[in-house]
Amino acid sequence: MKLPKEVAHYFPYDAVRPHQDQFIETVFTAVRDKRSVLIEGSNGLGKTISALSACLPTAVEKDLKILYVARTHRQHDRVIEELRAIFRKYSVSGISLRGRHEMCLNNAMSRSNFDAKSLMEACELLKSRGRCLYYKSADEQTYEYLYLQQQIAARPYKASEIQRVCRKKEVCSYELAKASLSDLKVIALSYLYVFDPVIRAAFLKNLDTELQKIILIVDEAHNLPETAIDISSSTLSLFVMKQAELEAQKFGNKDIEAFVNFFRSEIEKMTENISKEEIISPETIIDIIQKQGSIAKPREFFEHLHEVGVSIRKSLLAEGKNPRSYIHGMSEFLLRWLETLGDESFVNVISKYYNREGAKTAKLEIVALDPSKVTAPVFANTYSNVVMSGTLQPLEAYAQITRLPENTVQCVVPSPFPKEHVLSLVCLGVTTAMEKRASSMYQTIIRRIGEVVENTPANTGVFAASFEVLNSLISEGLENALSKPLFHERRDMTSKANEKLVAEFKDCGEKDGAVFLGVQGGRTSEGVDFPGNQMNAVVIVGVPYAEPTPRVKAQIAYYEKCFPKMGREYGYVLPAMKKASQAAGRPIRTLEDRGAIVFLDYRFATSYCRGFLPSWITREMKILPNTDGILAQEIQNFFKL
């Protein structure tokens, strides 16, 4: 298939990859017709350049902006790299946008532990007092400042590049980028700018446009439902309550101090007899506040808390301190509790857990159950939406859960990978099903992992169904059973520590190889690519079904009500299979990669589970008997050691 002539004007490469033209044609036609498109295309297809090239003709003709949302800074920068390739053929502008905290050049601000709202307020205070070296008011904006603004609007730039120039020129990179937004054609940014209602309102104001004039590209869209749930959910911990009590004491608010002390004690009592978590009636908390707390009008009192919190924030800000108020945070949670009262798309949870120091603590949560409350208002109002990922099937389920427009085009593009480059295996006789988690089962799993590692040229990735399974593999002697070094994730690992761990593992790909042990659904199994020898084989240990907690059961029940007979599939099975699919795709990132994918759980062999895996994984899938040595032989033959 030839590219449409309108797209060929922008597409920067001499040739298209296998099936890339189908992807481009589908997106171009949908956007031209002002329709949305839900499209699955595997790694190596070139989705980023395809989506940009397919959207630009309409964006330029209709004077629309393209917002390209993705999760990581690396993905945002990738958009700019592809835009630069287009720029060599056609003049187009764009930036990868980061938040105020990442863009800020003021050391006093960037090193402080501010939340986003506090940082914004502290920033405004410094600007108003003329205490920021980098900020230039409208009166102070020199010719050089305006020239920088014109430069940004002239070609594609990464956020880091804008920062480097601004540091030299002593200009605020965040303000400069913000001032340039209205002149840009393509902006790569975080999901929150578009899907968080509060952030979106401010962002569109800076953009000087409205949703109707935007083509929205959602990359790695399998993450969106979970992100939407997070945006709508809220938490109030015992720690925050304790800090609010101390804050009230410090500022002499006796009534608030007494209330928070009482409320914290009641929550502690409620969690004494629960094992992990329970769903509670939201009215229960209000009754306790009214009857035991003698607060006749809870809403009025919560608004009082809010006013005091605002006052404390202003006071701290005036002193040049972090304007964080725990009373303010608590008031916002309690007001949200009232707002969601009687709304079936929310559930109220009380839970007990261990903090990082290993001490028992508890929290209240308002848990959202309906991602479409966040996604639908966006999807219904843009000019067009391009929703894409390598793991979206079944498409109809995704469209229903996020409430995409009814006329959305749905398409699964075949994989560009040569069949001979992918070995897909399922081993019978092993499982991480709860009732089968015995030492003997883990020993069999460890033997199978060993067979893969011994016969893989360099690096092997192993992704377990949960940290419980990961820790059991460690305690059952996985490390001693391997001939290569083992790198493994830990539950409370910082992102920096994780990045260091991954980098050290990748380096082993150019040596004698190593093994990386992580969890499905973790940051490494979804957000990191391992091309070439960085990961030759991946082992998926178990189906990552969520623990059937009260909130998971509530999610299933809610979907069952919305989509009869599909509740368990939408709320339980699909999220697990998406995690497994993402982990399985780590070693196959380019058309040149050869990778072995080994599923260590007989459930992946069932037609039900296989139906949720991408077709490029299942098309040549082999099912192996529970016999030692057979897996080793398959891996050896594939890599021809």
Query: Is the domain of 212 the same as that of 171?
Result: no
Nearest to 446 by CA among 415, 482, 422: 482
Instruction: Give the model's pLDDT for residue 314.
Output: 85
**Do 136 and 214 have their domain in common?**
no
Residue 124 in any domain: the answer is yes
Higher pLDDT, 502 or 73: 502
Query: For strand 346-354 and strand 65-69, is the pairing parallel, antiparallel, or unpaired?
Result: unpaired
Q: Please give the pLDDT value at position 332.
A: 95
Q: Return all residues near 15 (Cβ < 8 A) that are at least 6 apart.
A: none
Distance, CA of 557 to CA of 551 (rounded, Å): 10
Q: Domain check: are 304 and 280 in the same one?
A: yes
- pLDDT above 70: percentage of residues in the chain: 95
Sorting pLDDT into bands at 50, 70 and 90, what band is 139? low
In a domain, 224, yes or no: no
Distances (CA, A) of 215 to 49, 180, 220: 15, 19, 16
Give the helix ranges, DSSP H, for 295-389. 298-318, 326-339, 372-379
Contact (CB, 8 A) for 154 and 143: no
pLDDT (tens digit per residue) in 401-446: 999 999 999 999 998 888 889 999 999 999 999 999 999 999 999 9
Is 378 within the bounds of a domain?
Answer: no
575 located within any domain? yes
- Domain coverage including residue 111: 99-184
Q: What is the pLDDT of residues 166-184, one digit of tens each?
A: 888 888 888 888 888 999 9
Where does residue 360 rank: exposed (0-12), middle (13-18), buried (19+ CB within 10 A)?
A: exposed
Residues 404 and 547 both lie in one domain:
no
Does one domain contain both 631 and 506?
A: yes
Position 311 scores a pLDDT of: 93
pLDDT at 34: 98
Q: Cα(first)–Cα(last) distance of the chain, in Å?
A: 39
C-beta contacts of 179-183 below 8 A and 24+ residues apart: 179/149, 180/95, 180/149, 180/152, 180/153, 181/97, 181/206, 181/207, 181/208, 182/206, 182/207, 182/208, 182/209, 183/93, 183/149, 183/152, 183/153
Average pLDDT over residues 540-562: 96
Query: Based on the domain organization, do 521 and 620 belong to the same domain?
Result: yes
Query: In this predicted model, what pLDDT tens digit does every residue of 47-98 receive, in sequence order?
Result: 999 999 999 999 999 999 999 999 888 889 999 999 999 999 999 999 999 8
88 contacts: CB under 8 Å, gap ≥ 6: 12
What pLDDT, in 10s, does the model give residues 327-379? 999 999 999 999 999 999 999 999 998 887 778 899 999 999 999 999 999 99
- Average pLDDT of 217-246? 95
Maximal CA-CA distance, the chain: 78
Lowest mean pLDDT among 30-39, 52-61, 198-207, 575-584: 198-207
Round the average pLDDT of the chain to a whole number and report it: 91
Last residue within a domain, chosen from 127, 160, 184: 184
What CATH number has the domain bearing residue 293?
A: 1.10.275.40
State the pLDDT at residue 138: 54
For 28-42, the pLDDT digits (tens) are 999 999 999 999 998
- Domain of 532: which CATH number? 3.40.50.300
Domain count, the chain: 4
Long-range Cβ contacts of 106-110 (<8 Å, 24+ apart): 106/132, 106/133, 106/134
